[in-house]
Amino acid sequence: MNGGKVAKLVTMDNFRRLAGGAGLDADLVASVVRGTVAAMVDTWPQVKAEAEVPSFVATHIEQRLGTLPLIADARR
Residue 1 has a pLDDT of: 55
Q: Could you give the CA distance from residue 7 to residue 28 in angstroms, rounded to a whole number?
A: 22
pTM: 0.81
Domain span holding position 56: 2-75
For 62, list phi and psi in degrees, rounded to 5: -65, -40
DSSP code per residue over 29-71: HHHHHHHHHHHHHHHHHHHHHHS---HHHHHHHHHHHHH-HHH
Q: Is the pLDDT of residue 2 over 70?
A: no
Quick: pLDDT tens for 21-76: 999 999 999 999 999 999 999 999 999 999 999 999 999 999 989 899 999 999 88
| Total tally of structural domains belonging to the chain | 1
Q: Could you give the CA distance from residue 36 to residue 51 in angstroms, rounded to a whole number?
A: 20
